[in-house]
Chains A and B, each alone.
Chain A
Amino acid sequence: MIKAILIFNNHGKPRLSKFYEHYSEDTEQQIIRETFHLVSKRDENVCNFLEGGMLIGGSENELIYRHYATLYFVFCVDSSESELGILDLIQVFVETLDKCFENVCELDLIFHVDKVHNILAEMVMGGMVLETNMNEIITQVDAQNKMEKSEAGIAGAPARAVSAVKNMNLPEMPRNINIGDISIKVPNLPSFK
């Protein structure tokens, strides 16, 4: 079982948190902080597994993480999961994000956390791995997005226009700033078929 999936940036700011067990909001924040603390002090070239923090079950659980440019992707899992399997899963997740957002960067995650949740929901459900095939995941996500668009239909048009205008006015949104390019450099890992 996966106990939690956390994404935070190099400063520990949460970009996505998904807990498959219930914790109070305060505990969740503490867990994120603790995990960040554990993970961020590790060198780049050390292994990607470590014992979980005290708050999330200590040595019963393992933290498996990958660090991409500005973001940490951390999965907290119990002993039933395969460490390297989860590591591959993180890779699949990031590659899927990359496909869905077209060159994903930290800003995408910041502004579209809801979409990230939707993508994640197609991969992991209630702490169990639902799908590991990237194409299948993308197909489902696209189909749902299409539905969303068709529902918005004519009524959605003005809202989209306004949102586009808003984005134009603000200097931080344009992609060319490219604050945090996740930059996937590990293409040789799609070991799930």
Chain B
Amino acid sequence: MALKIVKGSIDRMFDKNLQDLVRGIRNHKEDEAKYISTCIDEIKQELKQDNIAVKANAVCKLTYLQMLGYDVSWAAFNIVEVMSSSKFTYKRIGYLAASQCFHESTDVIMLTTNQIRKDLSSPNQYDTGVALTGLSCFVTPDLARDLANDIMTLMSHTKPYIRKKAVLIMYKVFLKYPESLRPAFPRLKEKLEDPDPGVQSAAVNVICELARRNPKNYLSLAPLFFKLMTSSTNNWVLIKIIKLFGALTPLEPRLGKKLIEPLTNLIHSTSAMSLLYECVNTVIAVLISLSSGMPNHSASIQVSLRSIQHYLGLLAMSKILKTHPKSVQSHKDLILQCLDDKDESIRLRALDLLYGMVSKKNLMEIVKKLMLHVDKAEGTTYRDELLTKIIDICSQSNYQYITNFEWYISILVELTRLEGTRHGHLIASQMLDVAIRVKAIRAFAVAQMATLLDNAHLLTGNTQRNGICEVLYAAAWICGEFSEHLEDPLSTLEAMLRPKVATLPGHIQAVYVQNAAKLFATVLRGQEGAPADRTVAQETSQLLIDRLPLFVQSANLEVQERASCILQLVKYIQKLQQKDVEVAEEVTALFAGELNPVAPKAQKKVPVPEGLDLDAWINEPPSESESEDEGRKPKGKAVFAKEESKHTKPRYTEVDEKELAKRREVRKAEQANNPFYIKASPSSQKVYQDGVGVEHIPVVQIDLSVPLKVPGMPMSDQYVKLEEERRQKDKADKKKKDKKKRREKGEKGRRRKGDSGPESEEDITPAHMVDITTEEMPENALPSDDDEKDPNDPHKKSSKHKKKKQKKEKEEKEKKKKKKHHHHHHHSDGAGDESVQNGNVEEEEPLPVSNQSSSIYSMCDIQGNLQDGSQVVVSVIFENKCDSFIKAMEFNVLDSLNSKLQRPEGAGPHDGLTVPFQLPPGISNEARFVFSVQSIVMPQKLKGTLTFIVKTDDSSTHEKLDFKLHFTCTSYLITTPCYSDAYAKLLESGDLKGSSLKLEGVSQPFHHLLARICFHHHFSVVERIGSCASMYSRSIQGHHVCLLVKTADQTVSIDAKCDEPGLLGNVLDEIKLTFSQC
């Protein structure tokens, strides 16, 4: 017999055990999956053998494979076999495997009941222990029901090792089989006073888990826990108890008073941070439940909070904030400091806190700090988070804390210069919201929006993939809708009709087109007053007639439809103008009527039309007899109206009524308590307009050579100052006119009313709303259509477009950051006209085409493709300059060894690419071509030809145009932000080769110089100290290019480093060229 065992084990010792398996996997790194599948085959063989040792070994290996993600449920039965082995070694392997892969739907589990019961009653405590451990992982309701009694007996086992496991597993049993709780509970309670600390701890654990689900039922245990808390020395138990008390105190305030003292003692005596923190947390919970006694304790708490890890401290503060905002507000500086923390989760927590801390007084200051953080924030997610937080903070409770909306608009405009944000639509909806609801701000907002539109290329050019261009949607709409405030509607109109607009997403183009028409109306009205300027009006019509066909060509149906509609209209107007008919009034009438914000309660106010029974069926439900109610069926229009309101109305009114009442109450309370809240006053509004009139805003001083900055942006800081001054003045006034306080109050309040329209919902009457919507819908019942609309968003279009936008953004992500290729003669002045600004390059030598001289004109943009290091995208804008129709354009480039035009599959290497559109006279359109480039070290020129057919009324001729494409090295660079520490690391790494460049006689200011390098050569500034700056860029193939730019006395020296010296040399040459031309 013994011999047989030895023989068996000798056979076995050459089997693979777990260590061999692991070693084997490590030795087969290349074909791991294959190796494992052979191992699994071996395991299957081993499992077929009779020897339990072999089986156990196989199961042990399976457990390991399960961890690697292999499904081993097929071996469930074998696992049960191993579990039932009489040897502890194998039993343990079996239970471990079972605990890793069994779950409620494993069917062999029901076979285990008896085996487990046997193990539970085993004389060997470790057999029992292993069974309990395993069971805790895979207990099912059936097992729980069948074994509850056995486990309950074990709770009074003589060995504490078994007792504590039995106590702990009871929680799992309760979860699966709740009926067991009642009979087991007395015994569980008994275990709280078990002599063994382990058992005690287990009992506390279980009761705490139970109490978390339903604290009320466990209040009766409080005295027992209180005793434990003062007597126990086990930190884990203390933590659990203290956490439990935290949950209990809100239910029983008297408990809190008792707790404060022992907790404070613990806080002072314990050395364990974990315990300290939980104590503090509970003290906070206690203090929240007690309304008095706050001041003395809060100070000591906050001291201890600061010593605790920041994250948890912030978490705790957010709890205090809910009830005692004042005590947290004093820590504003501390929290602002947390925004500088390296840890993102700490920063996010701090942001949450800030949200609750703002008041009218500190809003500007806090937002200013946040804006600073936005500038230096690393990573787009955190920056996006900051952005949403800024907007949340400002717009919370209906812009309650904003005292100066001009400031807010300028903040929003500043935010548009964020690169890579996903929240363009959010900014856009805020702009719309404010512009619509705050009437007094419209003139200012319109001026800002007009500047935005004028500089649209800064938003679209570099950030097309990320949706910041959504703000153009808002900008265009605001400019159009409130065009009477525009200083120079004509130039805005011009800006909205630039060819580049065609690259914007469709829904934005649609808004552009529509609002161009509104602007047109404004221009006409403005001009026709003075008959001398009639030509201007006609020129405007001509402008529209010239530019609109571009939109008529659009692939987006909405754009197409609006454009062709307006085009025809304008053509008609032009005819009238030629006959000297005054049309301004008629055209203006098209857009007459003001759009008012809609009050949430407006819906409720819409009268139900007479004879409309909202509760009546339109069609009887089929189950009932049809003839019964036929007479009552409403007919015609009423059917439609009723259908509309039926599913929307009841829900809408009810919710809003409550909500509104609540909000009103909150606001009233707020006003009553807030000494700074004073009711409306137009007079101080005047103060504003005098102080910060539009002329004070440096809108005019746009420095177009600075890219990515929306002009007029550093303004928000000015507001902070102005606001301070104003407040100080107010204060002084107040002191002086202490007696007249009341009157002044009234004045200030009036200003508020004017300044912050949304505050007073009363002036938004539902009547307006009905007016607005009647255009689209019949009768009064129409507004019910708005049910989905967010009541706070008066411009429902924007929400409708959200989905579209998101989709669009996705598409755009696939494109890469735009890169612009500049040709030297356009560099002469960055502030040049718009089309040049967009970085377009007239293709070289547009050779005069035989008879129809220069019938086509094209511009191009060369962009590196971020996603593919070897691709460059060239966008070419073709413009038809002749009077004939151009079609069948074919674009072809002679490939060089290095650069190849990507042609569709199956096309020969010399075939041209068909341009996917035709050009009516005077129209331009854009096409993109992808080139694959192997080496990006050298600039190159490619020769190409464009062939096309010019079609006149009676004939058509083939034409050809030769051109050259110039790929500079700069066009392979991509503006990539880099942070100073990463930058320092990069320089330290020593992989980069240096080179330098000196420029003499550069007279422009340093920041212009930097801006120029950024703009033309796609660098980003890493750090700037005085007259010295470090800059960074990356090529599409991942080369790092670092510049150190210094300036002194008109001399600029640039030290450059790059891991590819050839590329660097060429880039430097190009930079030199840029500056030699200014």
Interface residues, chain A, with chain B CB atoms under 8 Å away: 1, 14, 16-18, 20, 22, 24-26, 28-29, 42-43, 45-47, 49-51, 80, 82-85, 87-89, 110-114, 117-118, 121, 125-133, 136, 140, 143-144, 147-148, 151-152, 154-156, 158-159, 161-163, 166-167, 170, 172-173, 191-193
| CA distance in complex: A172, B24 (Å) | 11
| CA distance in complex: A127, B138 (Å) | 12
Report the nearest B residue to A157, measured CB to CB.
B9
B235 touching A14, Cβ below 8 Å: no
A162 touching B14, Cβ below 8 Å: yes
Give the Cβ gap from B884 to chain A, nearest Cβ, in Å. 59
- In chain B, residues 8-32, which have Cβ atoms closer than 8 Å to a Cβ of chain A? 8-10, 12-14, 17-20, 22-23, 26
The winner among B100, B234, B272, B344 for most chain A CB atoms within 10 A is B272
- In chain B, residues 189-216, which have Cβ atoms closer than 8 Å to a Cβ of chain A? 197-198, 201-202, 205-206, 208-209, 212
Interface residues, chain B, with chain A CB atoms under 8 Å away: 2, 5-6, 8-10, 12-14, 17-20, 22-23, 26, 60, 63-64, 66-71, 87-89, 92-93, 96, 100, 103-104, 124, 126, 129-130, 132-133, 136-137, 139, 161, 164-165, 168-169, 171-172, 197-198, 201-202, 205-206, 208-209, 212, 233-236, 239-240, 243, 271-275, 277-278, 309-312, 341-346
B205 touching A113, Cβ below 8 Å: no
B312 touching A128, Cβ below 8 Å: no
Chain A residues in 8 Å Cβ range of B341: 46
Apart from A47-B311, A130-B202, 18 more pairs, CB < 8 Å: A22-B103, A51-B345, A85-B236, A111-B23, A114-B64, A121-B133, A125-B133, A128-B202, A130-B165, A131-B164, A132-B201, A132-B236, A136-B198, A140-B129, A144-B126, A148-B89, A158-B13, A163-B19
26 A-B pairs with CB atoms under 8 Å apart are A25-B69, A26-B69, A42-B343, A46-B342, A47-B309, A47-B310, A47-B343, A51-B345, A82-B240, A88-B274, A111-B18, A113-B64, A126-B136, A126-B137, A126-B171, A128-B171, A130-B198, A130-B202, A147-B124, A154-B2, A159-B12, A162-B13, A163-B13, A191-B272, A192-B235, A193-B234
Q: Given A113-B64, A128-B206, is A84 in contact with B273 using a C-beta cutoff of 8 Å?
A: yes
Give the Cβ gap from B1065 to chain A, nearest Cβ, in Å. 36
Give the Cβ gap from A87 to chain B, nearest Cβ, in Å. 7
Chain A residues in 8 Å Cβ range of B345: 46-47, 49-51
| CA distance in complex: A126, B311 (Å) | 29
| CA distance in complex: A17, B96 (Å) | 12
The winner among A114, A136, A143 for most chain B CB atoms within 10 A is A114
Instruction: Out of B19, B22, B103, B239, name the residue touching A85 (CB < 8 Å).
Output: B239
A80 touching B243, Cβ below 8 Å: yes
B343 touching A43, Cβ below 8 Å: yes
| CA distance in complex: A70, B309 (Å) | 24
| CA distance in complex: A160, B144 (Å) | 40
Chain B residues in 8 Å Cβ range of A173: 23
Chain B residues in 8 Å Cβ range of A45: 342
Chain A residues in 8 Å Cβ range of B100: 18
Chain B residues in 8 Å Cβ range of A17: 67
Instruction: Out of A82, A111, A118, A163, name the residue touching B92 (CB < 8 Å).
Output: A118
Give the Cβ gap from B701 to chain A, nearest Cβ, in Å. 42
Report the nearest B residue to A92, measured CB to CB.
B236
What are the 8 tightest A-B residue pairs by CB atom distance, in nearest-first order? A126-B136, A84-B274, A46-B343, A191-B272, A22-B103, A29-B69, A162-B13, A47-B311
Chain A residues in 8 Å Cβ range of B272: 84, 88, 191
Give the Cβ gap from A113 to chain B, nearest Cβ, in Å. 6
| CA distance in complex: A28, B103 (Å) | 14
Report the nearest B residue to A46, measured CB to CB.
B343
A133 touching B198, Cβ below 8 Å: yes
Chain A residues in 8 Å Cβ range of B310: 47
Give the Cβ gap from B29 to chain A, nearest Cβ, in Å. 11
Chain B residues in 8 Å Cβ range of A158: 6, 9-10, 13
Report the nearest A residue to B161, measured CB to CB.
A140
A128 touching B205, Cβ below 8 Å: yes
| CA distance in complex: A192, B197 (Å) | 12
B274 touching A87, Cβ below 8 Å: yes
Chain B residues in 8 Å Cβ range of A110: 22, 26
Chain A residues in 8 Å Cβ range of B87: 151
A114 touching B60, Cβ below 8 Å: yes
Q: Given A88-B272, A128-B209, is A82 in contact with B88 using a C-beta cutoff of 8 Å?
A: no
A130 touching B168, Cβ below 8 Å: yes
A166 touching B20, Cβ below 8 Å: yes
A132 touching B234, Cβ below 8 Å: yes
Report the nearest A residue to B64, measured CB to CB.
A113
| CA distance in complex: A50, B315 (Å) | 12
The winner among B18, B67, B342, B345 for most chain A CB atoms within 10 A is B67
Give the Cβ gap from A74 to chain B, nearest Cβ, in Å. 14
Q: Given A47-B345, A84-B312, is A114 in contact with B274 using a C-beta cutoff of 8 Å?
A: no
Give the Cβ gap from A117 to chain B, nearest Cβ, in Å. 5
The winner among A42, A50, A51, A111 for most chain B CB atoms within 10 A is A111
| CA distance in complex: A159, B129 (Å) | 27
Chain B residues in 8 Å Cβ range of A167: 19
| CA distance in complex: A129, B168 (Å) | 9
A82 touching B23, Cβ below 8 Å: no
B60 touching A147, Cβ below 8 Å: no
Chain B residues in 8 Å Cβ range of A26: 69
Q: Given A49-B345, A133-B198, is A82 in contact with B233 using a C-beta cutoff of 8 Å?
A: no
B209 touching A159, Cβ below 8 Å: no
A82 touching B309, Cβ below 8 Å: no
Chain A residues in 8 Å Cβ range of B6: 154-155, 158
Instruction: Out of B22, B212, B311, name the residue touching A111 (CB < 8 Å).
Output: B22
Give the Cβ gap from B535 to chain A, nearest Cβ, in Å. 63
Chain A residues in 8 Å Cβ range of B132: 125
The winner among A14, A89, A112, A147 for most chain B CB atoms within 10 A is A147
Report the nearest A residue to B92, measured CB to CB.
A118
B168 touching A125, Cβ below 8 Å: yes
B137 touching A20, Cβ below 8 Å: yes
Chain B residues in 8 Å Cβ range of A50: 345
The winner among B2, B19, B22, B124 for most chain A CB atoms within 10 A is B19
| CA distance in complex: A84, B161 (Å) | 26
| CA distance in complex: A127, B129 (Å) | 16
Report the nearest B residue to A132, measured CB to CB.
B236
Chain A residues in 8 Å Cβ range of B346: 46-47
Chain B residues in 8 Å Cβ range of A132: 201, 234-236
Chain A residues in 8 Å Cβ range of B236: 85, 89, 129, 132, 192
The winner among B69, B93, B272, B344 for most chain A CB atoms within 10 A is B69
B88 touching A193, Cβ below 8 Å: no
| CA distance in complex: A17, B136 (Å) | 16
Report the nearest A residue to B134, measured CB to CB.
A121
A84 touching B277, Cβ below 8 Å: yes
B212 touching A128, Cβ below 8 Å: no
The winner among B139, B235, B273 for most chain A CB atoms within 10 A is B235
Report the nearest A residue to B105, measured CB to CB.
A22
B275 touching A191, Cβ below 8 Å: yes
The winner among A28, A80, A130, A147 for most chain B CB atoms within 10 A is A130
A125 touching B136, Cβ below 8 Å: yes
A144 touching B243, Cβ below 8 Å: no
Give the Cβ gap from B121 to chain A, nearest Cβ, in Å. 18
Give the Cβ gap from A158 to chain B, nearest Cβ, in Å. 5
A152 touching B89, Cβ below 8 Å: yes
Give the Cβ gap from A171 to chain B, nearest Cβ, in Å. 11
| CA distance in complex: A43, B202 (Å) | 35
Chain B residues in 8 Å Cβ range of A162: 13-14
Chain A residues in 8 Å Cβ range of B202: 128, 130
Chain A residues in 8 Å Cβ range of B171: 126, 128
A80 touching B274, Cβ below 8 Å: no
Instruction: Out of A89, A111, A151, name the residue touching B19 (CB < 8 Å).
Output: A111
Report the nearest A residue to B67, measured CB to CB.
A17
Report the nearest B residue to A133, measured CB to CB.
B198
Instruction: Out of A43, A130, A166, name the residue touching B342 (CB < 8 Å).
Output: A43
| CA distance in complex: A62, B89 (Å) | 35
